[in-house]
Amino acid sequence: MRKKRNDRNYVLYRVTADGQEYIGLTVAVGRAFLRSVKVRLQKHQSRANRENKAWAFCEALRSAENVEYEVLEVVRGRKTAYSLEREYIKEIQPTLNTF
């Protein structure tokens, strides 16, 4: 049986759409951390436009005039990344993260 990988880099990022924030994470592609976030954001935008979800983040992406994104942190390991994402959400309290 193969051992599960836990050595991947994950990128924690913040998307700001017309002043409202969203915190997320994605797997890093090589060392291109900002590009990894850009590709993930494009997937978010595509889904927001393709599907008619009433989620706050999708609605914000559909109507936003100004969307910016940034890398908050790069961490190694899935467990650490998800734990850190929860900490960022608790600390920043982004309006577009809904659970």
Report all structural domains of the chain as residue ranges with CATH numbers, in order of start: 9-92 (3.40.1440)
Please report the pLDDT score of residue 3 as a whole number: 66
Segment 13-42 shows an average pLDDT of 96
What burial class does residue 10 get, using C-beta atoms within 10 Å of its C-beta: 0-12 exposed, 13-18 middle, 19+ buried? Answer: buried
State pTM to two decimals.
0.89
Segment 19-34 shows an average pLDDT of 95
Answer yes or no: is pLDDT of 52 > 70: yes
Answer yes or no: is pLDDT of 1 > 80: no
Please report the pLDDT score of residue 94 as a whole number: 96
Residue 78: pLDDT band with limits 50, 70, 90: very high
Please report the pLDDT score of residue 98 as a whole number: 84
Type of residue found at 99: F
